Amino acid sequence: MPTAYRTLDSETQFLKGVGPRFAAAMAKAGLRTVRDVLYHLPRRYEDRRHIPPIASVRPGQFVTVKGELTAIEGRPMRRGMVIVRGTLSDATGNIDLVWFNQPWHRRQLEKARGQTVIAYGMAKEARWGCEIASPEYEILGDGDDAEAFARIVPVYPLTDGLPQVTVRKAARDAIARYLDAVQDPLPSWILREQMLRDLRWCLRQIHQPESDDLRLEARRRLVFEEFLVLQVALAMRRAETHAEIGTCFPISRLLAAPAPVKAKQKAPPPSALFTEIEAELREAEPLWDQIHRMLPFELTGAQRRVIEEIWADMESPHPMNRLLQGDVGSGKTAVAACAMLAAVRCGYQSALMAPTEILAEQHHANLREIFEPLGIEIALLVGKQTPTQKKKAAARTASGAAHLAVGTHALIQEGVSFAKLGLVVIDEQHRFGVLQRAALREKGLGNPDVLVMTATPIPRTLTMTLYGDLDLSVIDEMPPGRMPVRTHAKTPGERESVYKGVRKLIESGRQAYFVCPMVSESEKMLAQAAEELAYRLRQEVYPDLRIGLLHGQLPSKQKEEAMDAFRRHELDILVSTTVIEVGVDVANASVMVVEDANRFGLSQLHQLRGRVGRGAHQSFCILIGDARTDDAQARLDIMVQTQDGFKIAEEDLRLRGPGELAGTRQSGNVEFKIADLVQDGKMLEVARQVAIELIRRDPHLAAREHQALRQRVTEERPSLMAVVSVS
């Protein structure tokens, strides 16, 4: 075949060993083209250069063994169980291969009696020597031996109906005939700087490794490439945002006191003069002074730093696209308030979006307290409002009578418009998914600056993939005087003493949260669990105390009443589902009791614990749970050991893998074909730096040596963006 026809887009059925017979099975495994096959990485490798003699196999090891299949038996056991047992023999001894309740292996093996079989699995102690339960195995046909032997053999991930041999043959053929058609997307200067091998060499080593070291070197490069393509796409998007024209807030003019206002020549009537002067004074007040007057506390150094970062973005003529990361309780709301104040002073409106009505209402109440004395008007927009209420609020944002709007999704729904929207703040972002600027524009909200706030502690590696197109500000300091929350893991048997301890704290004037067991994902089931817990506490444990109930199934009005009553200290205990997980702020609440804590994820527990420890009192978090699995025990241990959200996030990533992390679940899995976010975190960082440098040098990848990379990025960008941005 002339090389010109050998494109990587050729269908797999033309590869050796596939044909029409296995084409469908290949496609089902995602292997449609030769390119797919080349990038289909082995799951593991079998080193058949050194297959140990059977007699040397010890229990507790993953081993590859080879021998003649000398015996097969299928034995029905009690209760309908079937055990299939095959015996492999070599010159040194025998080992059994065992399957429970998978009778079809018997049919397969019957055909192979007397033939050579290679098997892989965990060796376990058995009555006579060792056995391997549910091994992977391969029957060596006559033609196969020479090819498959004395090599490091790739073992590919499979789907039903696709034999290992087929994929192996296809990959060999793809390497043999198509490697020339592979174009390296990485320019040579990057390969040189990063000391990486070229792509053809790497693909060969991946599918036909000469040694483990070379194979790992090849993998390293493919990981880098995968990260780089993503990071370049993100860097390009960031550059595009930076090139757009947005709002320019003249904030530096507000920082210094302007020249004193000269008295006007023509004196207006005295009363009007007074208000005018006062208005001018207010206009003239330096921004930091005004903030000082507005907030009941001194900002931390970290808060001031990120405020300045945000202001600098707002002042630039390009739209802001910034992620503000700060652990629970680090004071993100105050930072948002300062950004919004600056916008108002520059004559623009701001919108603050929260993920739940409870949180929107809390923000509304808090912001009113600080902003109303300054004459700044705030509208509230939440889904549960009556049409009339909504209309009224929308009219105020449309006319500009309201300087700020606080709300849920309702804020960007049809019928809501703004007179002059300049800034959008999105709180507790993980509940929204990444909100695209495009979505705001589509909704007719112009091209405002966007500040996304998140407390979900996300490991840096994930931040770089999920939010790699946002600029990042981090609050890395807690407000002063916070005492660490004392965290205890208790068994269900110790519940009585927990209840006693909580009673003592309540008697000394504190309040407590009780979070009900995470019985299921269903809101209905959760609501029921919360009601049961409330019932039990009211009837049996604290009949004399004031206990409220909060869950997602309650009508909005009742939720609001419960929250308000708790805030006003008309309740001692609030029994809740995880609806209080996010953002709720009641300083006098100093105890958090989580029932069945072993069922919660780490980041959830961290969020829940973040509800306490907000006031001057020593706070406690009691995790009641029966940790039956190692993972559950590990989670509880981590919670007891540390309060550092980022440490917890790293552990969470390690224990659960990135796809499972709270909040990323709905944004699609962060799935890489080759890379592993936990293992390859450092490489991601390197790739990000290289991508930034590359886009700085050649923003549109116009140079000839960057064409191949540009093509790769363009091809993959839609799917990459789908991974990193779902709203």
In which element (H, E) is residue 220 found? helix 212-243
DSSP secondary structure string, 116-134? EEEEEEEEEE-SSSEEEES
Q: How far is 367 from 362, CA to CA, in rounded Å?
A: 8
Residue 638 CB partners (closer than 8 Å, separation 6+):
602, 647, 648, 651
The dihedrals phi and psi of 189, each to the nearest 5 degrees, come to -65, -35
| Residue 326 contact partner, candidates Mg ion, ligand ADP, none, CB within 5 to 8 A by sort of partner | ligand ADP
Cβ-based nearer residue to ligand ADP, 451 or 549: 451
Report which residue type is found at 164: Q
Cβ-based nearer residue to ligand ADP, 479 or 552: 479
| Residue 205 contact partner, candidates ligand ADP, Mg ion, none, CB within 5 to 8 A by sort of partner | none
What the block records as the tokens of 700 is 């549109």
| Residue 299 contact partner, candidates Mg ion, ligand ADP, none, CB within 5 to 8 A by sort of partner | ligand ADP
CB 232 within 8 A of CB 695: yes
**In angstroms, what CA-CA distances link 546 with 501, 549, 594?**
17, 10, 19
What the block records as the tokens of 15 is 């590869």
CB 525 within 8 A of CB 519: yes
Q: Smallest gap, in angstroms, from Cβ of residue 580 to Mg ion?
A: 12
Q: Smallest gap, in angstroms, from Cβ of residue 285 to ligand ADP?
A: 21
Q: How far is 214 from 188, CA to CA, in rounded Å?
A: 20
- Residues between 312 and 331 with contacts to ligand ADP, criterion CB under 6 A: 326, 328-331
Cβ-based nearer residue to ligand ADP, 422 or 583: 583
Cβ-based nearer residue to ligand ADP, 11 or 585: 585
Q: Smallest gap, in angstroms, from Cβ of residue 366 to ligand ADP?
A: 8
Q: How far is 511 from 472, CA to CA, in rounded Å?
A: 36
Q: Smallest gap, in angstroms, from Cβ of residue 599 to ligand ADP?
A: 24
**In angstroms, what CA-CA distances link 670 with 117, 232, 464, 665?**
38, 17, 11, 8
Q: Smallest gap, in angstroms, from Cβ of residue 404 to ligand ADP?
A: 16
Cβ-based nearer residue to ligand ADP, 162 or 323: 323
DSSP-based three-state secondary structure for 155: strand
Among 35, 168, 215, 332, binds ligand ADP (CB under 6 A): 332
Using CB under 5 A as the binding criterion, the count of chain residues that bind Mg ion stands at: 1
Q: Smallest gap, in angstroms, from Cβ of residue 248 to Mg ion?
A: 28
Q: Smallest gap, in angstroms, from Cβ of residue 549 to ligand ADP?
A: 23
Cβ-based nearer residue to ligand ADP, 331 or 355: 331
DSSP secondary structure string, 696-716? HH-TT--SGGGHHHHHHHHHH
- Residues between 159 and 188 with contacts to ligand ADP, criterion CB under 6 A: none
Q: Smallest gap, in angstroms, from Cβ of residue 327 to ligand ADP?
A: 7
Q: How many CA atoms lie within 13 A of 640 on its CB side?
A: 15
Cβ-based nearer residue to ligand ADP, 300 or 577: 300
CB 593 within 8 A of CB 642: no
23 exposure class (CB count in 10 Å sphere: 0-12, 13-18, 19+): middle
Measure the CA dihedral 49/53/56/59, to 10°: 80
Q: Smallest gap, in angstroms, from Cβ of residue 133 to ligand ADP?
A: 49
Among 334, 353, 466, 516, binds ligand ADP (CB under 6 A): 334
Cα dihedral 637, 643, 647, 648 sign:
positive
- Residues between 594 and 653 with contacts to ligand ADP, criterion CB under 6 A: 614
Among 33, 303, 511, 604, binds ligand ADP (CB under 6 A): 303
Report which residue type is found at 400: G
Q: Smallest gap, in angstroms, from Cβ of residue 330 to ligand ADP?
A: 4
- β-partners of residue 380 are 406
| Residue 329 contact partner, candidates Mg ion, ligand ADP, none, CB within 5 to 8 A by sort of partner | ligand ADP
Cβ-based nearer residue to ligand ADP, 246 or 610: 610
226 exposure class (CB count in 10 Å sphere: 0-12, 13-18, 19+): buried
Using CB under 6 A as the binding criterion, the count of chain residues that bind ligand ADP stands at: 19
In which element (H, E) is residue 567 found? helix 556-567
Examine residue 331 and tell whether it contacts Mg ion (CB under 5 A): no
**In angstroms, what CA-CA distances link 464 with 235, 237, 471, 472, 713?**
11, 13, 10, 10, 17
Contact region with ligand ADP (CB under 6 A), list: 32-40, 332-340, 504-512, 694-702: 332-340
Taking CB atoms, the residue at the shortest distance from ligand ADP is 331
Cβ-based nearer residue to ligand ADP, 276 or 298: 298
Report which residue type is found at 339: A
Among 10, 33, 166, 333, binds ligand ADP (CB under 6 A): 333
What the block records as the tokens of 544 is 């004399």
What the block records as the tokens of 67 is 């021998």
Q: How many CB atoms within 10 Å of residue 591?
A: 24
Cβ-based nearer residue to ligand ADP, 292 or 697: 292
Cβ-based nearer residue to ligand ADP, 295 or 721: 295
Cβ-based nearer residue to ligand ADP, 222 or 299: 299
| Residue 203 contact partner, candidates Mg ion, ligand ADP, none, CB within 5 to 8 A by sort of partner | none
Contact region with ligand ADP (CB under 6 A), list: 212-220, 266-274, 341-349, 583-591: 583-591
Site string for ligand ADP, 452-491 (x = CB under 6 A): ---x-----------------------x------------
- Residues between 564 and 583 with contacts to Mg ion, criterion CB under 5 A: 583
- Residues between 336 and 375 with contacts to ligand ADP, criterion CB under 6 A: none
Cβ-based nearer residue to Mg ion, 18 or 302: 302
DSSP-based three-state secondary structure for 593: strand
358 exposure class (CB count in 10 Å sphere: 0-12, 13-18, 19+): buried
Site string for Mg ion, 417-436 (x = CB under 5 A): --------------------
Cβ-based nearer residue to ligand ADP, 453 or 690: 453
CB 531 within 8 A of CB 559: no
Among 585, 596, 685, 698, binds ligand ADP (CB under 6 A): 585
| Residue 479 contact partner, candidates ligand ADP, Mg ion, none, CB within 5 to 8 A by sort of partner | ligand ADP
Site string for ligand ADP, 283-302 (x = CB under 6 A): --------------xxxx--
Terminal alpha carbon distance of the chain = 47
In which element (H, E) is residue 62 found? strand 62-76
Site residues (CB under 6 A) for ligand ADP?
Answer: 297-300, 303, 326, 328-334, 455, 479, 583, 585, 587, 614
Site residues (CB under 5 A) for Mg ion?
Answer: 583
